[in-house]
Structure 1
Amino acid sequence: MTRPLHRRLLTLALASALSLPALAQTAFAPFTVSDIRIDGLQRIGAGTVFTYLPVERGDTLDAGKAAEAMRALYKTGFFQDVRLDRQDGILVITVVERPAINKLTLSGNKDLKTEDLTKGLKDIGLAEGETYNPLNLDRVTQELTRQYNNRGKYSVQITPSVERLDRNRVNLTITVKEGKAAKIRHLNLIGNEKYAEEDITKGWESHTSNWLSWYKRDDQYSREKLSGDIEKLNSWYLDRGFVDFSLDSTQVSISGDRKDMFITAGMTEGEVYNFADVTVSGDTVLPKSEIETIVGFIRPGNVFSRGLLELATNAITARLSNIGYAFARVNPIPSIDRDKRTVGVDFQVQPGPRVNVRRIVFKGNTRTADPVLRREMRQFEGSWYSQAAIDRGKVRLDRLGYFETVEVESEPVAGADDQVDVVYTVKETTSGSISAGVGYSQLSGLNLSLQLSENNFLGTGNRVSTAVTRSDYQKRYDFSFVNPYFTDGGLSLGYNVWWREFDYSSFNVAQYSTNSGAFQVFMGIPLSESDSISVMLGADTNEILAYEGSTPTPLVDYIKAVGQRTFHTWKAQVGWGRDTRNNYFTPVVGSTQNISAEIALPGSTVEYFKLSYDVSKYWPLSQALVLKTALNLGYGDSYGKTFTRNICYTAPTLVDTNNDGVADTSVPGPAGTDPCLTTSPDFKKTVTAQGLPFFENFYAGGISSNGRVRGFTDNTLGPSWSSSYGYKQPLGGSMLLAGSVEAIFPKLFDSPSARVSAFLDFGNVYDGYDNFSANELRASAGIALLWRSPMGPLSISYALPLRQKDGDQVERLQFNFGGQL
């Protein structure tokens, strides 16, 4: 609820409290009150009544005193009727209590949120457990109607209903039928001679209907939006030198059926003025020459612009606020010469007291420990106030991914004009994901899985993830732990441990299986606010289970050339990353860049390296539209020796297995090794293992791979091998190129937990850079939804391939847990 609405509801409460029924005159002669008796009380205690009553035992009660007593009791709002009587020397007060509100229900309100309305109604006494006053309900109905009218909804109906209950209670229901907002059918500017109407109104929120009105809703009339647009009109001309610009009239009319609005604004443009001398005065704190340098972009002779004045004013204020002057004020005083059509400006600086930050306070972090938030701060307690440091702390909290919203404000310390408390108010959100399932299919049998990922484990800021999966095609056990603040300086330390028995053919990859395990230790070293480097050391073992006849021949030959099916690897990885996004899950500005180099160290079964580069950038085009561009590159190769083997075979022989005198069973001849032991082999084949090992290849296609090209089945793009039965098995490649252009609509849903985008993806993988061809790139376009569900981030996309070739596997509707748009 907006503050004006909040204040209006409170004003209505005061007005209703003062609107008392006429006081009945009690006809009795003055007497001395020997005792006071109160009849008719049900919920309110007699002690409460005596607190407000201006009559005590021993007082002389006359007509004036009686009227005063009745006014005091009516003013409490507890009673709908009060009567005074006398029994001998006893004052008898008979009251009829107003009913209590048992339940308050709001329905049908969309523009005004229920929680905001409930809070405002509570402040004026319309809340469960409070005393019911009909006047409050009537006047709140009028105020709500006025608020909806301000939003262009003139057909709104506010219907209050009161249900009487036993024990002097009522149920209140306020039903809202908002109706549709009136549409702007005509918008006309009169007096604009220098600029076209479409140029002036381009940035307005109020427009006549157009092809984007279904999304922007800019053709719906709102008094608040129109007021903002009129201010934009004034700024438009003042930013272009029209110092004498005036808005002569604004007329708004409504059609008889209250569905159409007609807006006309008349103006006088005036003449263009230029800047004259620009000076600085007052207590500048810093050397005057430094302040003059800040405003140096305003030069005499340039066209006058109020926007430039505001920019210069904010620049000086920001500079002073970063060295402790939190309440610095800069007043640009114009000196207008209408004969010469020039405007001289004197920036008067009033720094105010230098401010010290007494305390930094966190509110709303019900789960996250204070130290986790405090270590993200760049403003420190007991030091001079710095607006830049305070704002940086907000950005760092936003980027943690623990909070839905982060707000910050500075609160002056009572009795000390040189101290403030900085208060960060956060709203916790889901910082992890959980996935559990039980299923059965004829192909894979019983499937059991449990995956837990938590980026804020027990509110400590540590990241923990674990996964257990059991089925006929995989057994997987993973555990990962990261402490992002292993040292106070921000050095992070973590490790991964995992064991996997995996059948890759179930995941759109060539038919082979692996039994693999690894242990890795890694650390991150911050270089600046946005840059860091990472280092990883680890060891893993990978047993490849390939099957001649089903596993692609190039993979089988690779294993034969190496001479063993178990690969031992000592790995090292180093990377650099930069993250300037304003938010972890739903950024609208900033970028990310990551460069990494992974190498299988000498002594590994196969010595190879992998390089990757990922970059994404968010371009805020408006509040309703953000453009995201992304590019992923990857390349790998071997640097060690090339494995070559000669595989020799003799021809198969026929054997009589059923002793009928006829040879009927083929038995393969003995296979030799390198060098071939068979003196005269019938068949000899040379196999070679070089380049990036096939089990380290990049993959493209789908919603979850690094080479994301939505609309194609996961991992299916790029080189493949087809069996004699025509079954296509993706092999991946040693080179990856993928990217996307995405238009994000952050305002389509009135929730920070969901956002929609329209995207164009492209990419593919290649068997080495020598085989790269732009003609082989695939492309798709579609729409996507990201929802931060209670179980974790959920991405859903629907895409149509724009560039595909025969044999590509298409999958239009795809979804994935985790990640971001």
Structure 2
Amino acid sequence: MGLGTFAGISCVSRKSGANILLRIFSIMLVAAALSGWLSVGLAQAQSYQFNRIEVEGNQRIQTGTIATYAGIERGRTISAGELNDAYQRILNSGLFESVDLIPQGATLLVRVVENPSINRINFEGNRRIKDEALEEFIESEPRRVFSPAQAEADANTIAQAYAQQGRVAATVTPRIIRRSDNRVDLVFEISEGDTIEIERVSFVGNRVYSDRRLRRVLETKQANFLRAFIRADTLVEERIQFDRQVLRDFYLSRGYVDFRTISTNVELTRERDAFFLVVNVEEGQQFKFGQIRTSSQLSEANAQDFQNVLQIKPGVVYSPTLVENSITRMERLAIEQGIDFLRVEPRITRNDRDLTLDVEFVLTRGPRIFVERIDIEGNTTTLDRIVRQQFRIVEGDPFNPREVRQSAERIRALGFFENAEVNAREGSTADQVVIDVNVDEQPTGSLSLGGSYSVNDGFGVAIGLSESNFLGRGQRLSFTASTAEDSEQYSIGFSEPYLLGRDLQFDLDLGVAETDSSYATYNTDRGYFTPSLSFPLSENSSIQVRYGYAFSEMVGREDVTTGNVIASEIGFGKRNTSTVGLTYTYDSRLTGLNPNAGVLFEIGADYAGLGGDNEFIRSRVRTIAQTMVLNEEVTLRATVEAGALSWKGSNFSRTLDRFLLNPDFIRGFEPGGIGPRDQSNGEDDAIGGNYYAVARFEAEFPLGVPEEIGLRGGVFYDVGNLWDLSDANTAASGNIVGANGSLRHVIGFSLLWDTGFGPLRLNFSEAIKSESFDKEQSFDLTIQARF
């Protein structure tokens, strides 16, 4: 029974399988037929052939222009994909709001709706940036076709402009207002938001230099209470990138050759109203120069001659600038010796054991490449020769890449250009190069207006005009006028830095003044005419030769009585003085071995007697030395200067001719407060002296207050003397004091305040040794001078 059951089941299974196979076969036949029919239909639906293209809806755009955008050839079979590409090309032209392609047999109908034209552009909600400035940022313009994509791009550009001012929350929304004749007004709705400033700049990883010292290096600053006038405290990405390079240069110049900036992180405060800037650095070790050698691979170049021009000594802190300066000296010597194409290759060997860098200067022969020409573009105002004067090479000279880089720096230092790029490219042959100079002019003139009031002079107005690139010739021209009730002064200055195309500077200053002296009982009338020539003697020194012609007169005041000496000098009337002078200047800061120290030395003399009424020799000498200690937190400065007047004429000298000291020379006293005085007739007139000598010693240091306040402290000690009245009309008075002189000693404390208006210095002083007739002054406020 089991077998029969099994046989019956098997029989039924074979019948069912045959039916299933038959059905599958039938379905496959039907599917094949349908597939062929669909393929034929789809192929017919996706193929087009147009003999004509018609356009509807266009008003300003020509039909031919639209057909060109479509790019469909008449009579050629195209697919649906190609038809879609034509649609995209027309739409992406930015000229149309909508595009429809409608096949009509052998004709393609293109139906378009043109974008409107821009009637005008308005800005709403902007207060910090004026409309005129915003118009410079955008590319959309009136009377052009409106493009939504361009409007969005312009909105982003405006938002970036606000971000550069620290308003990163500013939003800009472009909107349109429909007008007749398919025109629109484009309106940028601006929400400026608040300024988000940098609340704190901090450093991680610095061990040698404090955060305070490094912050002084950066261009980016912390916000302070003068933020309304200072814009350096806003977050600008380009400025941060610049600060990274400046920070690296700072450490490299101090021997930290392994220094690197690991990261700069910017975070919003919890209140989202300010930024924290954190700079993560790795200082490394400080290296000094080890052995300094020079070797030559050229028979005509004596290595010892080139070694002798080096100023680097072992033990000096390593600086790439010193290496560059040494190479420049060597290349200059090669030019003097007539050795062309000499190249100096510095090979540096690192000694980690003693933290030194050995430098071997290898004299090699560089490639024989010449300068074919120098092309200058972009200088719409400045003459070509002004730019060419910054090059030490001309067409036909051997090409020196280092000299080209230095020339680029000199061009930028002119201050005439907003941008200046100098690049070298291959010339007409492989052994020639063309130097391309591309510059963007910037304004070089300035106008200053000011007012003043004093008890002596009353109200006054000051006007100043200055142009540093007069007529594009690189010349300086300035005019100043200051008027008050009892004081007037007018002056003109002119300077030609390259007289006759040479490194010879010509200066001319002339002016007239009627002033009321704040420390004397007389007025003065003055006029002067002073041309001068200056030229360098070396990298650090220069000479100035000058001529001066001046007239001066002491004028009595009706409401003031004077001592006998001043009264007699008033009676001398007007005197003319003709002088020739010479000044020698040495400044080690130009190429000094120590970036934290420098010395300025000046000595000069003027001889009067080439005509005029006076004959004398006036000489002066001044030395200033400065250094920074305690990881550059404290600045030490010492100044020593002296002057002498040797009268040669048969007439008497006047107070105008002698020296009168003011607080710039010795603090703690009024102008004319020390030195010889005439106390006749119950008066107390400062009458100056023939000799003076002063020394000033000071230290500046941080006070520990928040740096954004901008306050530093200082202490100073001044000592000085003013004496001698030889050749003065002292016989006119029987009551002269201080002619023999005596040393005055002053100590004091200073507050140095970096404000948005300039660096101010407040001096609180106490004279610890003075004379009874001196005029002391315990406080003065000055604009801090920079050394």
Q: Provide TM-score, normalisation by structure 2.
A: 0.60
User: For 2:307 and 2:585, how far apart are their aligned partners in 1?
Assistant: 35
Are the equivalent residues in 1 in contact too, given 2:390–2:410 (CA < 8 A)? yes
Change (3 A) 1:479 1:328: closer
SS at match of 1:611: strand
> How far did residue 31 of structure 1 move?
5.5
User: For 2:565 and 2:84, how far apart are their aligned partners in 1?
Assistant: 105
Change (3 A) 1:447 1:774: closer
**Corresponding residue to 1:771 among 728, 741, 748:** 741
User: For 1:251 and 1:445, how far apart are their aligned partners in 2?
Assistant: 55
Where does 1:447-486 land on structure 2 (aligned, <5 Å)? Answer: 454-465=467-478, 473=486, 481-486=494-499
Q: Which residue of 1 aligns with 2:287?
A: none
Are the equivalent residues in 2 in contact too, given 1:335–1:345 (CA < 8 A)? no
User: For 2:212 and 2:303, how far apart are their aligned partners in 1?
Assistant: 37
Alpha-carbon displacement from aligned partner over 1:695-743 (angstroms, at most 9, x marks no partner):
12334446xxxx3679987x45434758799876554444263768697
Q: Which residue of 1 aligns with 2:567?
A: 556
> How far did residue 55 of structure 1 move?
1.0
> How far did residue 169 of structure 1 move?
5.4
Q: Which residue of 2 aligns with 1:532?
A: 542
Change (3 A) 1:811 1:252: closer
User: For 1:760 and 1:220, how far apart are their aligned partners in 2?
Assistant: 36
Change (3 A) 1:162 1:507: same
**Corresponding residue to 1:73 among 67, 90, 106:** 90
> How far did residue 528 of structure 1 move?
4.2
**Corresponding residue to 2:760 among 797, 812, 815:** 797
Change (3 A) 1:351 1:508: same
Q: Which residue of 1 aligns with 2:177?
A: 165
User: For 1:528 and 1:292, how far apart are their aligned partners in 2?
Assistant: 17
> How far did residue 597 of structure 1 move?
0.5
User: For 2:301 and 2:588, how far apart are their aligned partners in 1?
Assistant: 33
User: For 1:507 and 1:180, how far apart are their aligned partners in 2?
Assistant: 49
> How far did residue 38 of structure 1 move?
2.7
Q: Which amino acid aligns with 2:83?
A: A
SS at match of 1:508: coil
Q: Which residue of 1 aligns with 2:674?
A: 718
Q: Which residue of 2 aligns with 1:597?
A: 605
Q: Provide TM-score, normalisation by structure 1.
A: 0.58
Are the equivalent residues in 1 in contact too, given 2:548–2:580 (CA < 8 A)? yes
Are the equivalent residues in 2 in contact too, given 1:736–1:766 (CA < 8 A)? yes
Q: Which amino acid aligns with 2:584?
A: W
Q: Which amino acid aligns with 2:606?
A: E
User: For 2:295 and 2:551, how far apart are their aligned partners in 1?
Assistant: 73
User: For 1:498 and 1:61, how far apart are their aligned partners in 2?
Assistant: 85
Q: Which residue of 1 aligns with 2:107?
A: 90
**Corresponding residue to 1:359 among 373, 381, 391:** 373
Are the equivalent residues in 2 in contact too, given 1:404–1:428 (CA < 8 A)? yes
Where does 1:120-519 land on structure 2 (aligned, <5 Å)? Answer: 132-133=147-148, 137=152, 157=169, 159-166=171-178, 167-168=183-184, 170-173=186-189, 175=191, 177=193, 180=196, 198=207, 353-362=367-376, 365-394=379-408, 396-397=410-411, 402-403=415-416, 407-413=420-426, 418-423=432-437, 425=439, 427-430=441-444, 454-465=467-478, 473=486, 481-492=494-505, 502=514, 504=515, 506-515=516-525, 517=527
Change (3 A) 1:615 1:261: closer
Where does 1:21-40 land on structure 2 (aligned, <5 Å)? Answer: 32-40=49-57
Are the equivalent residues in 1 in contact too, given 2:159–2:171 (CA < 8 A)? no
Change (3 A) 1:436 1:780: closer
Higher mean alpha-carbon deviation, 605-614 vs 804-813, is at 804-813
Cα RMSD (Å) of the superposition? 7.1
Q: Which residue of 1 aligns with 2:752?
A: 782
Matched residue count: 673
User: For 2:174 and 2:234, how far apart are their aligned partners in 1?
Assistant: 37
Are the equivalent residues in 1 in contact too, given 2:203–2:281 (CA < 8 A)? no
Change (3 A) 1:332 1:487: closer
SS at match of 1:71: helix
Percent sequence identity over aligned pairs: 19
> How far did residue 279 of structure 1 move?
14
SS at match of 2:745: helix
Q: Which residue of 2 aligns with 1:668?
A: none
Are the equivalent residues in 1 in contact too, given 2:295–2:360 (CA < 8 A)? yes
Q: Which residue of 2 aligns with 1:696?
A: 657
Q: Which amino acid aligns with 1:550?
A: T
> How far did residue 423 of structure 1 move?
2.0
Are the equivalent residues in 2 in contact too, given 1:397–1:406 (CA < 8 A)? no
| Structure 2 unaligned residues grouped into runs of 5+ | 1-41, 225-229, 285-290, 703-709, 725-738
User: For 1:623 and 1:423, how far apart are their aligned partners in 2?
Assistant: 41
Where does 1:664-743 land on structure 2 (aligned, <5 Å)? Answer: 693-701=654-662, 707=664, 715-719=671-675, 730-734=686-690, 735=692, 737=694
Change (3 A) 1:532 1:396: farther
| Structure 1 unaligned residues grouped into runs of 5+ | 1-24, 190-196, 270-276, 337-342, 644-688, 746-754, 788-794
Q: Which amino acid aligns with 2:741?
A: N
Q: Which amino acid aligns with 1:612?
A: R
Is 1:54 the equivalent of 2:64?
no
Q: Which has the larger radius of gyration?
A: 2
> How far did residue 631 of structure 1 move?
4.0
User: For 2:403 and 2:331, how far apart are their aligned partners in 1?
Assistant: 13
Q: Which amino acid aligns with 2:384?
A: D
User: For 2:264 and 2:748, how far apart are their aligned partners in 1?
Assistant: 55
User: For 1:808 and 1:434, how far apart are their aligned partners in 2?
Assistant: 34
> How far did residue 380 of structure 1 move?
2.2
Are the equivalent residues in 2 in contact too, given 1:329–1:352 (CA < 8 A)? no
> How far did residue 515 of structure 1 move?
4.8
Q: Which amino acid aligns with 2:171?
A: T
Alpha-carbon displacement from aligned partner over 1:352-405 (angstroms, at most 9, x marks no partner):
8554333334455444333233334323233222345335545655665x5376
Q: Which residue of 1 aligns with 2:644?
A: 636
Change (3 A) 1:383 1:725: same
